[in-house]
Amino acid sequence: MPNTNLLLTFNTGSSTLKIGLFQYGAHGARRIGKGLVDFSRSPLTFHLTEGPTAVDIGLEAEGGEDLRAVIAEIFEMLTAHFDMAALRVVGHRVVHGGDRFAGPAVLDDANIDELDKLVALAPLHQPQALRVIRAVKNLRPALAQTASFDTAFHATQSDLVRRFALPRALHDRGIKRYGFHGLSYKFIARQLRDQAPEVAAGNVIVAHLGNGVSLCALDGGESRDCSMGFSTLDGIPMATRCGTLDPGVLLYLLRTSGRTSGNLEEMLYYRSGLLGVSGISGDMRDLLKDRRREAAEAVDLFTLRIAGEISRMTATLGGLDGLVFTAGIGEHQPEVRASICNRLRWLGVDLELDENSADALIISTPESKIRTFVIPTDEEQIIADEALSLLSGT
C-alpha cells in the first residue's frame, strides 16, 4: 500500500549514516523504517529494517568526498520498499550550528553557505553532513531539506559556563563551549517529563554513553552545562577520542616529537580514548570480555572520569535529583553503570542490582536520594519532529 506524506532523516556521523523513514500526519511523525551505512567497512552495505524484517543490501557506490552516487543508490533501494514519490521533506542532523543556529533551520542556499563557514569547528562531522545535504539537493533539487543541530539545545547555557579563561577577543570570535549530543538530550528531557515529571522538573544529569560520550546537566529540562565544549574531543574519554586533555601535552608533542597538527588530529580522534589506553579495542563490549589488565584499566578510567564529571556538574546545578543513562553503552552495559554509580554512593546514588542487570527504566532503590534511570534515546525522532515543525510553520 502506498505511503502518504513521507519524511526521511539522515543522522550523519564521522563514519556512519543512520537513516530514518517516517510517515506523518495530524498526530506527528511515526517511524516506519530505518537504515544504516557504515563507511568504515568496504564494500558498502545498506542495512535496512522495515518492521520485523531486516535486509543487508550491497551498494555499488563507494564512499569518499562525493556522496552523490551513494545517496542516489540509497534512494533507489528505498523506492523498492516505500513510495518515495510521497517524500515531502528530508531532515538532517548537523553537529555544529555555532552561534548562528539556536534551533532547526530550513536548508536554503544561504543557510548551507553558513554551515560551510562552521566546518573548522567540527572538521570530521560537518563536512560529511554537508556532503549528504548536497547529494540530496543534487538528486532532488525541489525537495525541502532541514537541519537539526546538536549544539542548539545548549543555547540555554549561561555565558559564564560557556566561557574559557582565554582573552576576551577569542571568546567574541566564537572560541567557547558549545556542547554536543543536543538532539539526544532533547529527546531524553521529553521522555523524562513523561516518565517522571517530578524528577524532570528538578536537577538531572544525563549520561550519553556511546561511541561518542558526553554528559549534560539539565535544570527543568534545559541545558545548563555539558562535558563537551568547543569540540567533540572534549570531556570523557571515548571509544577512540581522548576526552579532556591538558593543552600542555599538545604543545610538548609539537615541540619535541616533530608531529604536525594533522598527526595530532589523527591521534586524538582515532587512536586515543579506550583504544589508546587499552591497546586492545575502542569497543566497550570487547573490553568487558577481555581479562587483561589494560582492558580493565581503560574501563576504570572511563567510569572514574564520568563519576568525576557528574560530581562537577552537580556543583553547576546546585544539587542533583536524577541521573539518566542513555545511548549504546548507557542503555546496554550494566557493569559500566554499576561502576559509575558505586563511585557516586557518597552523593546518594543507591543502585538496585537486579533492576540494573535487567536494563530497567528505574535502576535505583526506593531509598536512593538520586533517582536513576535507563532511557533509550532516539535522535532521529527529534530530527523528524523538528523537520515537521518547520514544514508546518510551527
Spans of all domains in the chain: 6-149, 197-374
Question: Which percentage of the chain shows pLDDT scores above 70?
Answer: 99
Instruction: Write the CB contacts of 264 (distance below 8 Å, at least 6 apart in sequence).
Output: 250, 253, 254
pLDDT of residue 44: 83
Catalytic residue, candidates 56, 66, 150, 194: 150
pLDDT in tens, 352-363: 999 999 999 999
pLDDT, tens digit (0-9, with 9 covering 90-100), for 107-117: 999 999 999 99
Average pLDDT estimate for 2-20 = 84
Please list, in sequence order, all residues whose beta carbon lies within 8 angstroms of the beta carbon of residue 259, skipping any fewer than 6 positions away.
253, 267
**Residue 359 a catalytic site member:** no
pLDDT at 231 over 50: yes
Residue 1, pLDDT score: 40
Strand order in the sheet with 371-374: 222-226, 213-219, 203-209, 322-326, 371-374
SS3 label, residue 236: coil
CATH class of 6-149: alpha beta
The cell numbers describing 297, all together, are: 584499566
Burial 222-237 (b: 16+ CB within 10 A, else e): ebbbbbbbbbbbbbbb
Residue 245, burial from CB neighbour count under 10 angstroms (0-12, 13-18, 19+): middle
Gap between the Cα atoms of 377 and 359, Å rounded: 14
pLDDT tens, position by position, 365-387: 999 999 999 999 999 999 999 99
Across the range 232-259, mean pLDDT stands at: 93
Confidence of residue 311 (pLDDT cuts 50, 70, 90): very high
90-101 confidence digits (pLDDT tens): 999 999 999 999
The fold of 197-374 is Nucleotidyltransferase; domain 5 (3.30.420)
